[in-house]
């Protein structure tokens, strides 16, 4: 449907005064889970104090409440929203340029936003080399949203030519940032499965000047999950035993971390039982069975009965 010509007085203008008066980023999401899209904005990092997000709740008729500010971190700029901990509520993450960090603000389950948790980035440069933009995608295939932070081409040359990936631990907390070098300073990113291998890849537009080349970071799908971390979420829990049962009996996906936890050369229900014993009964750690079991395994591998 075409929009009416607002310049000639048709349609409707709505103006809202927001803190700082100058926007760095704008995100739309249903923060209070009422089925209506709310507005979340950040102030320009050059407008003091530039450390907050503002939220305007949709009142259900296309009008919005007055903005409410929440502290997000020094130089809070880019915004990304998603359900980081699987509780059904939208959480927020921000890129903080002055603080050289990513902050995560969890939803309290009623539409309120909790205090930020800071995840510092190791960027060797001046104070303005911190991240200005942030995005998210399930990069490691564990169904949790991971975060991608970057500077958007404004900073010290050579120090901002990277993306920083923070893996979600599955509960809304994140691991330390991993830097991925680029051929130039990034301007924007787009995440999708470009080669149909079921892994999310990242396309990056680069440079300060034309022709603005594009670099693609291909996701190899390789994980460094520890033995027994069958679902690759960075922990060994009952979910890993369930994951193995699904793989063995229901044709589920293969283990990400090693599934042969008792080292008998096969992935069977005995491995799921081994994980359960480790979690609930103080059994031996995965891939470290007691000597008696290990001896028997070696004999069986040699064909002894």
Strands of the sheet with 91-96, listed across from one edge: 76-82, 91-96, 101-105, 117-120
Give the span between the Cα atoms of 228 and 243, in whole angstroms: 10
For residue 297, give every residue at least 6 positions away whose Cβ sits within 8 Å of its Cβ, in sequence order, or none. Answer: 262, 263, 264, 265, 289
Task: Please name every residue paired with 54 in a beta bridge, in sequence order, or none if there are none.
Answer: 41, 69
Task: Please name every residue paired with 135 in a beta bridge, in sequence order, or none if there are none.
Answer: 148
Q: What is the DSSP letter of 10?
A: -
pLDDT at residue 127, as a whole number: 53
Give the span between the Cα atoms of 164 and 83, in whole angstroms: 20
How much is the pTM?
0.69
How does residue 303 score in pLDDT terms, banded at 50, 70 and 90?
very low
pLDDT at residue 44, as a whole number: 78
Q: What is the DSSP letter of 32?
A: T
Residue 84: both structure tokens together: 């980081």
Q: Does residue 91 have a pLDDT over 80?
A: yes
Mean pLDDT, all residues of the chain: 82
Q: What is the pLDDT of residues 177-209, one digit of tens each?
A: 888 888 878 888 999 999 887 889 999 988 765
Give the span between the Cα atoms of 97 and 77, in whole angstroms: 7
Rounded percentage of the chain residues whose pLDDT exceeds 70: 82
DSSP-derived 3-state class of residue 179:
strand
Q: What is the pLDDT of residues 32-81, one digit of tens each?
A: 999 999 999 998 777 776 789 999 999 988 789 999 999 999 989 999 99
């Amino acid at each position: 449907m075409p929009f009416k010509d607002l310049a000639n007085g048709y349609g409707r203008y709505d103006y809202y005064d927001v803190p700082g008066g100058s926007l760095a980023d704008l995100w739309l999401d249903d923060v209070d889970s009422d089925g209506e899209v709310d507005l979340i904005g950040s102030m320009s990092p050059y407008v003091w104090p530039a450390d907050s997000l503002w939220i305007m709740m949709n009142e259900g008729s296309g009008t919005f409440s007055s903005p409410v500010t929440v502290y997000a971190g020094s130089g809070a700029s880019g915004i990304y929203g998603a359900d980081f901990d699987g509780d059904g509520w939208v959480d927020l993450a921000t890129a903080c340029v002055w603080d050289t960090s990513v902050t995560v603000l969890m939803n309290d389950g009623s539409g309120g936003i909790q205090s930020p948790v800071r995840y510092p980035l190791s960027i060797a440069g001046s104070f303005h080399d911190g991240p200005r933009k942030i995005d998210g995608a399930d990069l490691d295939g564990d169904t949790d949203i991971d975060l991608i932070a970057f500077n958007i081409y404004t900073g010290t040359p050579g120090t901002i030519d990277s993306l920083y990936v923070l893996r979600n631990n599955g509960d809304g907390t994140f691991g330390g940032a991993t830097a991925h070098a680029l051929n130039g300073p990034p301007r924007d990113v787009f995440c999708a499965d470009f080669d149909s291998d079921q892994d999310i890849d990242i396309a990056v537009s680069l440079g300060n000047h034309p022709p603005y080349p594009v670099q693609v970071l291909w996701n190899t799908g390789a994980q460094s999950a520890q033995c027994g971390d069958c679902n690759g979420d960075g922990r060994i829990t009952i979910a890993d035993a369930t994951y193995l049962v699904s793989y063995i009996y229901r044709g589920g996906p293969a283990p990400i971390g090693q599934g042969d936890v008792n080292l008998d050369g096969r992935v069977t229900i005995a491995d799921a039982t081994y994980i359960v014993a480790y979690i609930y009964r103080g059994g031996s750690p995965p891939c470290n069975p007691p000597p008696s079991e290990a001896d028997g395994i070696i004999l069986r591998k040699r064909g002894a009965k």
